[in-house]
Structure 1
């Protein structure tokens, strides 16, 4: 039995108010039903786990089903909600902001919704950022644009000061849109709230184009990211085939996980090599990357290489570890290193034409595509339903293609990475034709 996870969602207290949503409790009346607290979804769907639970006579590990509850902790008409966006930009942030505002206003008749400007800095009065009022009229069109309507920043602020700001503004629920660092931050805010015995719900909505949030199927913005990257790979392929021994190197984001690089290569199957942080590879020697690239050029006269930003960091000698404001290791530019080493290797062998393309900041600033737009709205709605019921320190997310609530503490224990023995990576290798190992 997999007991390393704890999926119980914390609650602020008893639910004393009735939901204003006119939903049903009766199956078959063609009206959506309220979600009950006993509605659970099994986490591990494998037959082996099922058989083990039968053998042990215990219930399988389950997650709380997301959705509207009939009984609420908050009197929705007297709620003040706050929204903050943190970390790097990502497609879909504005869709989530819009979805939260619309759900709070139209579903629950919330009169006061506060936007926190420039990430967690906005909760520190010393930074001088004024809180802003959010209304449906202000946010109705923001989903058409990339970036974040509220602004963002990296790095944390003093947790005690941030909670002071929430209390001074009589905030009842805080929605934090961000990745691993943001989620850890809002969980810390939740812990401080608990210490004060305050009654503020904190909710995370997982955002990162790297798709490296653990346990969940996918973070919003990821699909748009590799969708936007795909035509760039197509054009890079045109560049490569337009020259004898043409080589295109495209660097995509992926600090610790290579999901964008791998997915973009599958979506636009003109890529011949995908290099990701999860894999070790050598440049030199028998079976090394440069030798395999040479074989490719000998056969096809062109090559398209996609590299994630965090790949091949072991190749940098005397590398110094430098971190950004969020605590993330700042990587050396693997794309430029590859360009340099490839040029050096082929200088005395055969002429090559190398094009290096880095579209990272274009990709992450794009507006959400249709699929991500749907995903963002649904995440926003589920986040609001959970907060209204008094649930706290959870993320609204999708697991096994079903919407659930997961404790923030569980999804931030480690980063999700590509399994090099998994079917997904095998699909990438089948698409590119590159060997299982390089060096």
Structure 2
């Protein structure tokens, strides 16, 4: 096999090429820049809990394929290093001084990840020095720390939020690494979304530049499920499940009144996964609007025409809209970004409720009863459900195994059902989005019977990469190329 690096001074991602198109996008290791590091016997081998396990350790050449569906003549493609314990570790239990930080918005499962990192270090590796950084990245240099042990974190998974506190922004690479160095920290566990992990990559690069024996491990967190490569992010299942309560309430309200309209706004700044899966799970939704699928309100094939038709047929309608959907339709847009670098959004749900009331009152002279429900912060603040709790446990333990084995500059994630180590650049280079030309969106359209809001010609063009989709109204009949699709 041939190993190369595309680091170029930053984002040190090792590329290993093998036969039949095999590519391993490997992760950095402390030994890459600190020669002759001593290794130690992995204490897991003597752990009574693992006594009955037939195979304690992951083979060094175990990898996980990124793309599971292939043709018979396909090349082997991109792989990632499989997560799990290694036979030799690069930290002695007594020397480890670990820290954990949570950044960005709240998400179900944060406390579970904290708990399992602490318990994994203590119970699997005999580590007894773990601290929590209070208040996100700025807590490294502006706030006190919290001593963590199994007793402190024993029942935190039953609570929402994060016991460490969180914040957006506050990232100062030099100050953070200075604090890590001054405190003698040698394992850093960073829980956060794509912006947080970009910050984690900068921390890793500065640590590497200084030649420090410090492992940096990320656990990707985004309730929207917009981090690429991984199967899903923790908290997503819980969010979809909790969203059912809001949709059910909207359905009851709408069904109980003449021409009842239930409008529910769900999270989804740039992608509509929560809205899509909550709609598919519920089956009472008549229309789902997401950022990836532009729609228009008036005219043939528009939302209002569909609403009027549904109200006449069923007497009520339930609409789910993601927070980032339809932003291009709002007459006033917000400039700037928040502290995490996210574009500021207008409240599309509130705007939509006003537009619906205005249309049916003034243009159709049709009385409606609209109820608008926004459960965003209720969903974010709840504890993780059973499925997410198990998932958080495996992500946290995977990060601990990787850091103890000397790996650094990686995130712990699930790829094709297998736990893997993914280099930082792969999960920060783009975002995961709903593909509206894929079968999952077709299943939703079939379930709701809503229009696609795309004309036939535009649907064909949408399948070609790089073609924009219509935004507010149907394209003009003279539009013959991709550049004239939207008006």
TM-score, normalised to structure 2's length? 0.85
Unmatched 5+ stretches in structure 2: 1-16, 32-36, 455-473, 475-487
- In the other structure, the counterpart of 2:207 is 193
1:280-319 superposed matches below 5 A: 280-319=294-333
Give me the whole-angstrom Cα distance separating, in 2, the residues matched to 1:130 and 1:174. 16
Tell me the secondary structure at the aligned position of residue 44 of structure 1.
Answer: coil
Query: Which of 255, 278, 293 is the matching residue for 2:269?
Result: 255
How far apart are 1:23 and its partner, in Å?
6.9
1:406 to 412, 422, 428: 422
Residue 77 (1) aligns with residue 94 (2) = yes
Contact 1:23 1:34 in 2 (8 A): no
Which residue of structure 2 lines up, in the alignment, with residue 209 of structure 1? 223
CA distance in 2, matches of 1:345, 1:100: 53
Q: How does 1:37-48 map to 2 (within 5 A)?
A: 37-48=60-71
Q: Is the 8 A contact 1:96 1:376 kept in 2?
A: yes
SS of the aligned residue for 2:453 comes to: coil
Query: Does the residue aligned with 2:262 lie in a helix, a strand or coil?
Result: strand
1:96 corresponds to 2:113: yes
Kindly state the Cα deviation for residue 403 of structure 1 after the two structures are TM-superposed: 0.6
Partner of 2:478: none
Superposition pairs of residues 19-418 of structure 1, within 5 angstroms: 19-22=42-45, 30-48=53-71, 51-53=73-75, 60-124=77-141, 127=142, 129-348=143-362, 349=364, 350-418=366-434
Q: 1:417 to 1:368 in 2, by over 3 A?
A: same
Q: What is the aligned partner in structure 2 of residue 56 from structure 1?
A: none
1:390-428 Cα shifts (integer Å, max 9, x gaps): 111111010001111111110110110001011211121
Q: How many residues align?
A: 426
Partners of 2:252 and 2:23 lie apart in 1 by 47
What secondary structure sits across from 2:294 in the alignment?
coil
Greater RCO (Cα-Cα under 8 Å, separation 6 or more): 1
Distance 1:15 1:278 in 2: 50
SS of residue matched to 1:403:
strand
- Provide the secondary structure at the position in 1 that maps to 2:264: strand
- Cα deviation for residue 321 of structure 1 reads 1.9
Q: Structure 1 residues 320, 242: closer, same or farther in 2, change over 3 A?
A: same
**Structure 1 runs not aligned, ≥5 long:** 54-58
CA contact (8 A) 1:272 1:305 kept: yes
Bigger mean CA offset, 289-298 vs 160-169: 289-298
Query: CA shift at 1:78, angstroms?
Result: 1.4
Q: Contact 1:15 / 1:389 at 8 angstroms: preserved in 2? A: no
Offset at 1:305?
Answer: 0.5
Deviation string for 1:198-228 (max 9, x for gaps)?
1111111011110000010000000001101
CA distance change for structure 1 residues 4 and 152 in 2, over 3 Å: closer, same or farther?
farther
TM-score by length of 1: 0.94
1:179-206 CA distances to partner (integer Å, 9 max, x unpaired)? Answer: 1111111111001111111111111101
**In 1: Cα distance, 2:228 partner to 2:184 partner:** 33
> More displaced, 93-102 or 14-23?
14-23
Aligned residue among 29, 51, 69 for 1:11: 29
> How far 1:52 sits from its partner (Å)?
3.1
Distance in 2 of aligned mates of 1:247 and 1:420: 25
Report the Cα offset of residue 107 of structure 1. Answer: 0.6
User: 1:282-333, CA deviations, whole angstroms, 9 ceiling, x for partnerless residues?
Assistant: 1111111111111111111100000000000000124232210001011111
Compared CA separation, residues 141 and 329, structure 1 to 2 (3 A): same
Seen in structure 2, the aligned counterparts of structure 1 residues 15 and 353 have a Cα distance that, compared at 3 Å, is farther
Post-superposition, which runs of at least 4 consecutive aligned residues in structure 1 deviate over 4 A? 1-6
Indicate the larger mover: 38-47 or 378-387: 38-47
Rounded to whole Å, the distance in 1 between the matches of 2:61 and 2:234 is 27
Any idea what SS the aligned residue of 1:186 has? helix
What CA RMSD, in Å, does the superposition of the two structures yield over aligned residues? 1.8
Change (3 A) 1:60 1:318: closer
